């Protein structure tokens, strides 16, 4: 284990970086070799995850979370970091992301736990998916020496991987000490379980970077935190969450098991009032490497309809994160590819991503939805405008931040 002296020194250096606002704005070329090495190893976990996916009916229709996804998340996360760096000035709960390499490596490893990890057995694909961020963190701790050979802190990368999912990590408020306390407890418990199974291959999670010199002391919690260090990790995780949410499904339309996804948008109910009604006759097809086609029509795989919701909604969106200099906010931008294609499903996928912004409490955020209605007939334009305007109004009330529609007519 690293000496506490070294870790405290590292923390002090990091804190100075925050105070003087030294921001590393490194681009991809600055850490190309580290990224190459990380991708080479991460790919092995993602290959194993793809091989395991067909063993679980729940993962048969789950969207790809492999190396192609991880590469895109790495790109999108850096763009989100650029926006966050400009929005955090004077904010005690978030800090500039001074270590962009850490963010890059975390993005490449964040979903490696989709392979099921190495110390649990799964018979339920949903349970595996629920544990995937924790298993990703454990993978990073298993290969600590490799991660640190990339000039990043393995404990930081492990925590980033754990926290990238709001639902799987349980941290739904990046400024909540109680949420962080529970998250640390879960990682420590997983480390103990791992070491019990593999006593000859002991791993550890060193929390000292976040808990040394604490300025928040709460006797009800196991850990006491240093707010400056939490602020630094909160920003990295915020960028990673936005990068993950902004993956472009249309760029790589495949399932977790490697089957290609084809969506017949004309099969979606055009005037539906809910996404559930919209997808009831939807035809989504999975095509395997042998060219064999499986139709998801009728809800055979998922009676609730999520297997037809996400391919249509995510496939109809492009997403980016920018800084809005007028409002000084991190702006999540949604561009709808086709206004008439499954609008209820498209909005439901936007809603899920607004949930990521929800976790960034005390950070100024907003959303912008861009819809091209220039080629629509009058009746269609009126309907689409009504649907999207109603959604923006209700979303603003629900989430507490601005959600604006930009409709090109």
What are the extents of the domains in the chain?
4-248, 250-312, 314-408
Q: What CATH architecture is 314-408?
A: 3-Layer(bba) Sandwich (3.50)
pLDDT at residue 17 in the model: 36
28-65 pLDDT, tens digit per residue, is 567 899 999 999 999 999 999 999 999 998 898 899 99
354-373 pLDDT, tens digit per residue, is 999 999 999 999 999 999 99
Query: Which DSSP letter does residue 164 get?
Result: T
pLDDT at residue 30 in the model: 77
- In this predicted structure, the answer to whether residue 327 has a pLDDT above a threshold of 90 is yes
- In this predicted structure, the answer to whether residue 207 has a pLDDT above a threshold of 80 is yes
- In this predicted structure, the answer to whether residue 155 has a pLDDT above a threshold of 80 is yes
- In this predicted structure, the answer to whether residue 94 has a pLDDT above a threshold of 60 is yes
Q: What percent of the chain has pLDDT over 70?
A: 93
pLDDT at residue 377 in the model: 96
- In this predicted structure, the answer to whether residue 295 has a pLDDT above a threshold of 90 is yes
Task: Give me 162's structure tokens.
Answer: 């754990």
pLDDT at residue 319 in the model: 97
Q: How far apart are CA 322 and CA 340, in angstroms?
A: 26
pLDDT at residue 247 in the model: 85
Task: Give me 69's structure tokens.
Answer: 């996804």
Q: Alpha-carbon torsion 186, 191, 192, 198, what sign? A: positive
Q: At what angle do helices 177-197 and 125-142 cross, to 10 degrees?
A: 80
Q: Cβ distance 68 to 252 under 8 Å?
A: yes
- In this predicted structure, the answer to whether residue 24 has a pLDDT above a threshold of 80 is no
Mean pLDDT of the 145-163 span: 98
- pTM score, whole prediction: 0.92
Query: Which DSSP letter does residue 185 get?
Result: H
Of the candidates 175, 181, 186, 245, which has an alpha carbon nearest to the alpha carbon of residue 218? 181
Average pLDDT, the chain: 92
- In this predicted structure, the answer to whether residue 201 has a pLDDT above a threshold of 90 is no
Q: What is the pairing mode between strands 329-336 and 365-372?
A: parallel
Residue 197: HSE in the Cβ half-sphere, 13 Å Cα cutoff: 10
Of the candidates 19, 64, 37, 113, which has an alpha carbon nearest to the alpha carbon of residue 314? 64
């Amino acid at each position: 284990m690293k000496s506490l002296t070294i870790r405290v020194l590292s923390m002090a250096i990091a804190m100075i970086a925050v105070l003087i606002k030294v921001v590393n704005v490194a681009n991809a070329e600055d850490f190309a070799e580290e990224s190459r090495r990380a991708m080479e190893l991460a790919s092995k976990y993602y290959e194993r995850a793809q091989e395991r996916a067909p063993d679980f009916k729940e993962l048969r229709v789950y969207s790809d979370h492999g190396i192609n996804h991880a590469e895109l998340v790495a790109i999108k996360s850096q763009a989100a970091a650029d926006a966050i760096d400009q929005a955090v000035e004077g904010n005690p709960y978030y800090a500039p992301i001074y270590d962009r390499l850490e963010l890059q490596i975390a993005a490449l490893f964040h979903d490696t736990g989709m392979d099921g990890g190495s110390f649990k057995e799964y018979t339920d694909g949903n349970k595996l998916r629920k544990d995937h961020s924790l298993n990703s963190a454990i993978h990073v701790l298993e290969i600590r020496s490799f991660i640190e050979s990339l000039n990043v802190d393995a404990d930081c990368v492990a925590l980033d991987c754990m926290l990238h999912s709001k639902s799987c990590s349980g941290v739904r408020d990046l400024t909540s000490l109680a949420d962080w306390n529970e998250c640390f407890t879960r990682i420590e418990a997983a480390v103990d379980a791992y070491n019990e199974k593999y006593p000859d291959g002991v791993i550890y999670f060193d929390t000292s970077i976040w808990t040394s010199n604490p300025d928040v002391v709460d006797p009800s919690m196991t850990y006491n935190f240093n707010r400056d260090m939490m602020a630094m990790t909160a920003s990295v995780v915020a960028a990673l969450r936005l990068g993950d949410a902004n993956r472009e499904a249309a760029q790589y339309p495949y399932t977790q098991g490697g089957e290609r996804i084809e969506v017949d948008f004309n099969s979606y109910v055009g005037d539906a009032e809910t996404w559930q009604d919209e997808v009831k006759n939807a035809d989504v097809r999975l095509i395997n490497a042998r060219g064999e086609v499986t139709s998801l029509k009728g809800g055979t795989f998922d009676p609730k309809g999520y297997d037809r919701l996400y391919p249509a909604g995510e496939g109809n969106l492009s997403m980016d994160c920018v800084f809005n200099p007028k409002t000084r906010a991190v702006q999540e931008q949604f561009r709808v590819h086709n206004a008439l294609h499954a609008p209820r499903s498209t909005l439901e996928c936007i809603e899920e991503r607004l949930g990521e912004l929800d976790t960034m409490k005390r950070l100024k955020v907003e959303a912008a939805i861009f819809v091209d209605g220039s080629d629509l007939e009058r009746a269609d334009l009126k309907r689409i405008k009504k649907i999207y305007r109603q959604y923006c109004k209700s979303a603003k009330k629900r989430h507490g931040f601005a959600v604006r529609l930009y409709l090109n007519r």
